Structure 1
Amino acid sequence: MIDHVSRVPFAFGDLQGCHAPLRRLLDTLPRAPESPLWFAGDLINRGPDSLATLREVVGFGARARAVLGNHDLHLLAVHAGIRKMKDSDTIADILAAPDAPALLEWLRNRPFAHHENGMLMVHAGVLPQWDLTLALELADELQRALRAADWKNTLAELYGNEPRRWSPDLKRKDRMRVAFNAFTRIRFCTADGTMEFAANGSPASAPANHLPWFDAPERRTRDVTIVFGHWAALGLMLRENLIALDSGCVWGNRLSAVRLSPDPRERTVVQVECRECAGAGRGD
């Protein structure tokens, strides 16, 4: 019989192709083969073993709950001919792999948000004007569009910095672009939710009149525990209703996993060093 404890998920920060640290971390976790494994996006790119990392996560089958990050979407965009590969990319091995079609199809079918047991996992963040219902509706709209037959056209339209602020009056293309950027790129915004995309330093380096998205004073998802990655300079951060997981593995720091107990006092952290990935991290 599967007990309740064995079903508590473990959530992982950005892997970014760092396969060896992932294996070490998995070996370090308490033996609970039924526990769901949550991945906060950016499974691949910049680290040395993107193909092995993606295959590992896909191999978990239904245990894996992974949301799309900006690097995952970049891989899909390169595959679709929408974006060019960068010098710092480590995704060529995926594109050239014999199982590339299956891997890319699996990735394209990942969601932008995962909500379960009062916790919402996204890659980067949510805008302060969104409540949980709206966030899930917008994530579902993006997910359905990316799974449609014309997904390449849709993905091409999602790239761009404007508009930077949410409004319920936005037309479909602009609405989806705002949601796309919030779920996969946001770090800082103004109090009214206007996003800023250039800064990627620590919260102390916030541009004038900006603050971390999760500290926006009127954020409407404060009653939901949000699990996210994307922000290596922020690092591992645990608050009662906030779990930041990107502890900079691809920069040679650490890979983190957090046991997502409903009781914040029972959330445990497991980390491993990522020395073999030092120097891999460049850019977003």
Structure 2
Amino acid sequence: MTERRAPSGSTDPVDGLLVVDKPAGWTSHDVVGRVRRLAGTRKVGHAGTLDPMATGVLVLGLNRATRLLTYLVGADKEYTATVRLGQGTVTDDAEGDVTDAPGAASIDAAALETALERLRGPIDQVPCSVSAIKVDGRRSYARVRGGEQVELAARPVTIHRFDVLARRTTTADDGTAVTDLDVVVGCSSGTYVRALARDLGGALGTAGHLTALRRTRVGPFDLTGAADLTVLGAAHEAGRPVPLLSLTDASRAAFPVRELTEHETTAVRFGRRLPAGGREGPVAVTAPDGHVVALVEDRGDHARPVLVLDPA
């Protein structure tokens, strides 16, 4: 992780990405608030929330790097999780009350693999009703907690990987015999892993919910080098700045790279278009000295700047 510091004595804001290992019990907003205090700036955002129960990769942008987050929110993600078969909850995870407990003392291995296979690839997933999705202007979770019955429309998502790492039979606190599955999930943005747990239970003729969730990757950013908030706090007390990934390093990690000539660099800095590069999605374009000046996207025969990071 490349450390970015303002010059000594400077009050200029520092730009960059920070990958945090979110602790359990914190909301994503809690983490943003903490980093705002540690970095001394109000301009901090994140590239996709994690539920309070979940831990793991939370990508934050500071100052100008918040503009990159729009293009990182849609990145594929990976998780490790524990699915409990035999019980369902109102939230589809361990934070909600148990609503159904048919039990799952044993699960046939062939039936389990068949159910998993049906949940891989492109699927239409019904999000959890206790979620932040808005229904007629109000969050779905607020409607549910107000006593309403909420049925959300299915959404297309892609499950790249849904594999069982380990399984064990145990007894839940209420005495129900259940089967716990440690799983790994690779998926497109917008996937609810707790909905996968719910649907896996349903496919096996029982119920299911998540008891643990850890996000291990967002796009190219994983737990390797992810910052611990306690360590960041201690560093702050010692007068050390928050270590950030620079705009150039972050862009190079997240997007394909196209090198520009001096003439093309000047054009992009003024928001002018370039000849198309033949790549789909955002591309980081670099000046001859190697630093990223913008993100561009092909539109027909031309590549148009969608985000200029180094304006004229």
TM-score (norm 2): 0.26
Rg larger for: 2
More strand by share: 2
TM-score (norm 1): 0.27
More helix by share: 1
